[in-house]
Structure formats: C-alpha cells, structure tokens
Chains A and B, each alone.
Chain A
C-alpha cells in the first residue's frame, strides 16, 4: 500500500492503494467515480479514457504510481454542469444506445477538440478509432463531434 495525492477534476484527493493499481480502478473502487468505464483492461476499447494534462489516455493501462501531480480530468469533471459542447451535442444527436462506451467516447473527443477545434472528418475518424462502440453508434458519435466543433469557443 502506498499513499497518493492525486489532482482529479481540479481537486486534490488522497487514497491508499497498491502502486500498480490502474488509475481506472482507483477512480472506480476507491474514489467512487464510476463514470470512467472498464471495457477491456488492455488499452483496446477506450471505455476508460480520461485526460492526463489534457491528453486522452487509457486509465486501465496507467498505474496510479505514474500519475504524480499531473492533472487528471474524468467525465465527471469535464464540465461543471454537464454542458460541455460535446455533452450537449451528445444529447442533441441522441448518441447513446446502451451508453456504456459513451463517457470514453466523449473524453477522447474532448481531447481532440482541445487541440484541434475544427477537425476534418478524417481527423475525427483517426482520433476516435481507438474507441469501440459495440452498439455501433459510430455515425452519431461522428455527427456529434462535428456539431460540437461548430460550437467550440
């Protein structure tokens, strides 16, 4: 067991866990933040995507010991009122089917728009290709990213 002080969603949180515990499970089991999902555990599906200093990373493959004081953002902290342009677009386009993959999809898309507020269709495809949606909502995910990009400041 080791003691960690993490910077999550702009707050400092403390936890005692094994150093090799993936950030995903620290969030879910120890901090009660279950918006970040488990899908594969091996970096293949993107359900567990969070931001690490603004970059999209797969939290299932990131041991808590490697997090340090870097800034982590999860779906719960993407916006204060759930009104990030992507969140609004996701509702407007009615993207979710079962919904399980969608937090990860939004976090990947948010990291893309941070860097590239007006991505081309191809850039969206490339950025989103690491996120699986078993329900096949890809058309709507794509549409919602485009819609949000028109509303990014």
Chain B
C-alpha cells in the first residue's frame, strides 16, 4: 500500500492509493483529535486519519465501523451516512467492524447516545469528498468539465452524452487526485438512504447462527474459565479448598487473584460443575447490607443536614413559608441488574510483553488502559478486537470482566476465555443505583407554582438529580439538592443513567401537582414551558420549543383528552440530547386496568435509519415499562436475593402493549436515540394508572405496590 498523502485544509481526510488499485479515503472519527491539534495538544507529528472508506476496482465499498455494536444500530447507521453522501449503491457496501485503535478512532465507545451527534458531519464530508474525487476522475477521463458530470447510485455519469463508469472503474484514478478543500453536502431532500428503512448489516449472519458475539469466539487451545467472586458485597476472600473441584474431569487448575477464585478447564460445562465443588471461606470486611436497611437509610438521608445544593433559584424557604398550599410526594426505585442477554465474557491471551484481547466491550480503550496498568506494559502492546455485543445497557462500560480474563490468562500462561453464568452476571455487581426522591411544590392562593424543591438521595448514585432539567427555569424559587451514601454494593451507569428513574418520579409529581391545581396535565406543562420561555429563571439547559413540539405531537397523535373510555397518562422528558413525549392508554376490562397502547413522539433531529430509530423507541419503551413494572434486585446481608430470570422478572411478549411512534421532522442535526425513549415511559404509565384507578404509584417496581395488587398491566385480556 502506498500513501499519497494529501491533506485538505479541513484537515481530517487522507487519501491513499491501494496497492491492488482502488481508493482509500481515511478520515478522523475524532472531534477531540482535531480540537487537540488546533490547541497544539496533539502528539508531535501529523494527525492520524484512519477510519477508512475504501473503494476497490470491483466496485465493493468497504466502510470500517469503529464503535461497538450492541443493538443501537450504529454498524448500519454510520455507513448509511457515508454512503448517502457518496451516492453509493448500498448493495455493494460492506461494513467491517474495526479493531480498537485509539490513534485512528476517537470516542470508540458506546454510551450516552453520543455516537451519531459526534460523527454526523464528518461522516457526511467523508462520503461527499470521495464522491467529488470520483467525479473529478470521471471528468478527466472524458475530458470534460466537472460541472458536466454527476453521479447515480454507484456510477459517475457524463451529463452530455449519458456515458457511465462505475466507482470501481474510476477509483484508482481518483486516488491520484487531490482531496478537495471543501465539499458541498447534500440537501436534506436529496437523501436517498438517510431516513429510509435500512436493514441491519449483520442480519443474515444473525438469523443463520454465525459466530458474532464474544461468547461465540473460539480459538484452538483456548481454555475456559469461570470466576467465583464473594457472594456478599462487603466480604473478602479468606481461603479456599479446591481439591474436589480439581478432581472433576477436564479441570486444569484452580487459581486465585484478589478476592476471586477461578476454575480453569477444557469446556464450559466441566468448569461450571467444578466451581460448585469449591469450598471457599470469606470474611466480612465491611458491614453487610440488606434492603430494609436501605429503606430506613433513605428516610434518614432525606432529613440529612449535609445535602449538596445542585441548583438554587430565588428564595425557596420564603416561597414555602408563604405558600397557600404545599404538595409533597416521595418516589423510590430499587437496584436493577443490567442483564444483557449475552452474559459478560472476554478472551485474553497474555504473553511475555504483550496481550491480546477479544470480546464485547462498550469502552474498549478503557479496557486496554486498565489491562496495561494491571500488566505493567505499554497500552500499545495490547490489541483489542471487538465482537458484536449481545446487549450492553451500560454494563459493558466497565472492564472488570476483561481484567478477570487478563488475570486468569496471566496466571495460566495460556489463552483463556472467562465466561460468566447468568447467576454470575446478576450477582456480580454493578447495578443501577437505588434512589429515593422527595418532591415539594408550593402553590400561592391562585394555584401558581411558586416554589419547587427536590431532594434526591441515592446509594452509590453520584448526583441522582439532573438539576437543570425541566421544570428548572420555570419556577421562581427552586432548590435541587442531593445526598449520596457510599455502599460496598457496586453500581454503574444503566441505560439512561439516573433519568431512567428520575423522569418517572418527576413526571408523576408534575401530574400530582396538575391534578391539585385542577389543570389538564398537558396544559400544565405547556404553561410552565411558556413561563420559562417568556421569563426564564436562571439558566435554561433544554430547548423549550423542541420540548413543546414533542408534547404537542404526542397529544395530537394520541387524541389527548378526546377518548372518554380510555384513561390517558402523559409524560415528557429531555435526556441525552433528545426529546420524547409519551401518552399511555389504559382501559378497564372486567374491572381490571389493561395497558393497551403507548404513543411516543420523539425529536432526535434527523432520523438516520428509520428502522433502527423506530426500534430504538419501541425497545426503549418496552425496556422502560418492563423495569418499571417488574425490575428489582434486593439484598439480604449483602447477598443479592435474585440471581436468574426465574426470580428476576423481565418483560415478555404478552405484557407488551401496542406502541405507535412519531418523529418530529425539523432537520436539526441528529442527537441520538439509544436512551431517550426509555425515561418517559414509567411516568406515562403511572399517570394513566392513576387516571384509571385513582391510585398513585410511587415506587418501582409497580408490581410490588399495594396499589397494584393482582394486576399485570400489559397482559392482554
């Protein structure tokens, strides 16, 4: 391969002629690298521009997708953006999952719904640049001006005589050209792929059972390992006896590191059998906590004198003192397990001064950095290959299971795959933190909302509030504060961190207030938003017009207030850069509430893949509903009381209501959709439930509430 380095002024593209002919256009995926280089912070030497778009002489277009794919559709959506601007024939586009390479790809992680907003513009420019260069090569070939050529689905076309050449036929010529300094991007109305229903690029492999996931990875000579961790949070390893375990056929060794004992053998089943024969002794390091302790703890924290103020507008004390009416409500949510369908697993092969890692990770670079630290070798000596992820939901943002594979491989001096059973996965830590909120609203004599107070308390939750979210900015006197408690129970980001529950609490509370002031819940929200628009209090960190637009769209589509026999519940939330409003509908059947339908209106800017986006919203709603209804992980003396799907209930097909999704069409640059549809669901459903039954649901999971005895909402009857 020979590099014909021509940098454009835009400074993020590099052209390379491939040895076998054809063109490779490299581009940085990296906002940060560019910003760094501007600030002079980049490492000496040139920027590395190495996410590739390759066009080979046989017309195959290869696009390397650097971000981990876990179902958020990125492996399909990103290439669509490039291919659209390139005017490529989609059937000739091949998408390849790129290995970890921090020099090549910045932000090679999946989390925070941030990938699309991060890359939208540069992906388009990369595609448009390649198209421009192919057109220039065509113009040269036909000895005509660039204005006289255009493209059509993988062909460069001579406008005056209709002559056509494929991209492949011109790619080698194009590679000799100069990267244009600037290119014109398509008009939105000319998009051919963006906004269309495009199927997943891995579908074929998936539905025929091809190896794709980490758990499917196999290497000749690889050993299987399972790691036994302390059964209670707060315990540490004291000693173990592996005699019986080692006697199981196929077991090669039992090794130990930190607080863990690992059984290593020749097959999953043998290892699984042997681990059950381990005799392990633990000692208590920190007090072992139980769920009833937490319930009590929450009450104390809500009264605590040392809360951290997160936002303060006006004089909240005075507002409450002079209030005509004060409304108060508390909401609580339990720990949740992430439970991606594919349990944690990773392959590691530690060698003399290097290490090979293969598996599913949402943050491959962090996994590599932590491995480097553990092994005391430079990160450059570690390769990491990403497999497809069988779900993530935030669990695979952590590298704990990667490091386990590294530890075992190092001790065994062999390639090892660490596999977690479902029980390991559910009891092995890193949960959605349990939190409790207290909301208070002060009303004046004419029912205006004059004061608003929120205190969030949580267990290893960090700041459990989002202090700048609506209704902040719409209330004169407001105080948002938090108290955190540190526990040995490990927690981590869980799809739509914090907002996955906060949205339910907030949207339920606003409903309570609306009801008490005697206003329609939709009108009540709109009135507050108008207030924030006309006369904002403090900083406004959400887009009022976008929020109003989704409210209106959801209300319109659902026929809000126009269905006498149906109880409707409303909810709207801004999170992770996008806006989603939902209306849940409950019908009483034989005196039982049945959740029939949820309408959603989403504003995520330009919809890239209609298929992926629709499914992100529907899946987010199903996820939000299922966990609000059933999800709960409780503890007894530090031990999780649920350990598999028989006692940790996930939503199933029968419990899922109809979902109708609408998108706001406003042409704003895409803002991401992996998370924002989930937060509003719990509130919409709880508010509909109140309308239907007169009962408020304050705690999750709903199914455990006295108010919901004997009811499974979604169940079709």
Instruction: Please measure, in the bound complex, the distance between the C-alpha atom of A150 and the C-alpha atom of B446, giving whole angstroms.
Output: 61
Which B residues from 185 to 224 make CB contacts under 8 A with A?
197, 199-200, 202-204, 206-213, 215-216, 218, 224
Known: A132-B652, A134-B650. A100 touches B391 (CB 8 A): yes
- In the complex, are the beta carbons of A39 and B422 less than 8 A apart? yes
- In the complex, are the beta carbons of B623 and A136 less than 8 A apart? yes
Instruction: Please measure, in the bound complex, the distance between the C-alpha atom of A92 and the C-alpha atom of B626, giving whole angstroms.
Output: 26
Instruction: Please measure, in the bound complex, the distance between the C-alpha atom of A138 and the C-alpha atom of B619, giving whole angstroms.
Output: 8
Instruction: Please measure, in the bound complex, the distance between the C-alpha atom of A103 and the C-alpha atom of B204, giving whole angstroms.
Output: 11
Which A residues from 20 to 38 make CB contacts under 8 A with B?
20-22, 25, 28-30, 32-38
- Nearest chain B residue, comparing its CB with the CB of A79: B208
Partner of A125, one of B213, B340, B654: B654
Which B residues from 369 to 403 make CB contacts under 8 A with A?
388-393
Instruction: Please measure, in the bound complex, the distance between the C-alpha atom of A148 and the C-alpha atom of B381, giving whole angstroms.
Output: 49
Is B618 in contact with chain A by the CB < 8 A criterion?
Answer: yes
Instruction: Please measure, in the bound complex, the distance between the C-alpha atom of A62 and the C-alpha atom of B611, giving whole angstroms.
Output: 37
Which B residues from 422 to 478 make CB contacts under 8 A with A?
422
List chain A residues, Cβ under 8 A from B656: 136, 138-139
- The distance from the CB of A139 to the nearest CB of chain B, in whole angstroms, is 6
Is B253 in contact with chain A by the CB < 8 A criterion?
Answer: no
Known: A29-B267, A99-B202, A106-B207. A136 touches B620 (CB 8 A): yes
Known: A40-B645, A42-B646, A44-B645. A97 touches B388 (CB 8 A): no
- The distance from the CB of B599 to the nearest CB of chain A, in whole angstroms, is 14
- In the complex, are the beta carbons of A136 and B207 less than 8 A apart? no
Instruction: Please measure, in the bound complex, the distance between the C-alpha atom of A113 and the C-alpha atom of B473, giving whole angstroms.
Output: 56
Known: A82-B204, A132-B650, A136-B651. A98 touches B388 (CB 8 A): yes
List chain A residues, Cβ under 8 A from B207: 75, 82, 87, 90-91, 96, 102-103, 106
Instruction: Please measure, in the bound complex, the distance between the C-alpha atom of A108 and the C-alpha atom of B204, giving whole angstroms.
Output: 18
- In the complex, are the beta carbons of A136 and B197 less than 8 A apart? no
- In the complex, are the beta carbons of A41 and B218 less than 8 A apart? no
- In the complex, are the beta carbons of B209 and A33 less than 8 A apart? yes
List chain B residues, Cβ under 8 A from A20: 269, 273
Instruction: Please measure, in the bound complex, the distance between the C-alpha atom of A82 and the C-alpha atom of B618, giving whole angstroms.
Output: 27
Is A65 in contact with chain B by the CB < 8 A criterion?
Answer: no
Which A residues from 77 to 131 make CB contacts under 8 A with B?
78, 82, 87, 90-92, 94, 96-103, 106, 122, 124-126, 128-131
- The distance from the CB of A102 to the nearest CB of chain B, in whole angstroms, is 6
Instruction: Please measure, in the bound complex, the distance between the C-alpha atom of A126 and the C-alpha atom of B653, giving whole angstroms.
Output: 8
- In the complex, are the beta carbons of A37 and B342 less than 8 A apart? yes
List chain A residues, Cβ under 8 A from B203: 90-91, 94, 96, 99
What interface size band does chain B fall in? 35 or more
- In the complex, are the beta carbons of B268 and A29 less than 8 A apart? yes
- In the complex, are the beta carbons of A34 and B209 less than 8 A apart? yes
Is A141 in contact with chain B by the CB < 8 A criterion?
Answer: yes
- In the complex, are the beta carbons of B218 and A32 less than 8 A apart? yes
Instruction: Please measure, in the bound complex, the distance between the C-alpha atom of A31 and the C-alpha atom of B268, giving whole angstroms.
Output: 13
Please indicate which of the listed interface residues B199, B200, B619 has the most CB atoms of chain A within 10 Å of its own CB: B619
- The distance from the CB of B316 to the nearest CB of chain A, in whole angstroms, is 39
List chain A residues, Cβ under 8 A from B392: 98
- In the complex, are the beta carbons of B615 and A75 less than 8 A apart? no
Interface size on A, residues (CB 8 A): 62
- In the complex, are the beta carbons of B269 and A132 less than 8 A apart? no
List chain A residues, Cβ under 8 A from B391: 98, 100, 134-135
Instruction: Please measure, in the bound complex, the distance between the C-alpha atom of A135 and the C-alpha atom of B622, giving whole angstroms.
Output: 8
- Nearest chain A residue, comparing its CB with the CB of B657: A139
List chain B residues, Cβ under 8 A from A139: 618, 622, 656, 658-659
List chain B residues, Cβ under 8 A from A126: 654
- Nearest chain B residue, comparing its CB with the CB of A43: B646
Known: A25-B268, A101-B341, A138-B653. A76 touches B389 (CB 8 A): no
Which B residues from 306 to 360 make CB contacts under 8 A with A?
339-343
- In the complex, are the beta carbons of B200 and A96 less than 8 A apart? yes
Instruction: Please measure, in the bound complex, the distance between the C-alpha atom of A101 and the C-alpha atom of B626, giving whole angstroms.
Output: 17
Is B621 in contact with chain A by the CB < 8 A criterion?
Answer: yes
- In the complex, are the beta carbons of A18 and B70 less than 8 A apart? no
- Nearest chain A residue, comparing its CB with the CB of B624: A136
Is A142 in contact with chain B by the CB < 8 A criterion?
Answer: yes
Is A140 in contact with chain B by the CB < 8 A criterion?
Answer: yes
- In the complex, are the beta carbons of B653 and A129 less than 8 A apart? yes
- In the complex, are the beta carbons of A35 and B210 less than 8 A apart? yes
Q: List 27 A-B contacts (CB under 8 A).
A: A1-B249, A18-B269, A33-B209, A35-B209, A37-B213, A37-B215, A37-B342, A38-B268, A39-B422, A41-B421, A42-B644, A74-B209, A75-B209, A82-B208, A87-B207, A91-B204, A98-B70, A98-B342, A122-B716, A125-B654, A126-B654, A132-B341, A134-B339, A134-B341, A136-B626, A140-B615, A140-B618
- Beyond A39-B342, A94-B200, A135-B341, 17 additional pairs, beta carbon < 8 A: A21-B269, A33-B209, A34-B215, A35-B208, A40-B644, A44-B646, A75-B207, A82-B204, A94-B615, A97-B73, A98-B389, A99-B203, A106-B207, A122-B716, A130-B652, A132-B652, A136-B621
B interface residues (Cβ-Cβ under 8 A, vs A): 70-71, 73, 197, 199-200, 202-204, 206-213, 215-216, 218, 224, 249, 267-270, 273, 339-343, 388-393, 421-422, 611, 615, 618-623, 626, 644-646, 650-654, 656, 658-659, 716
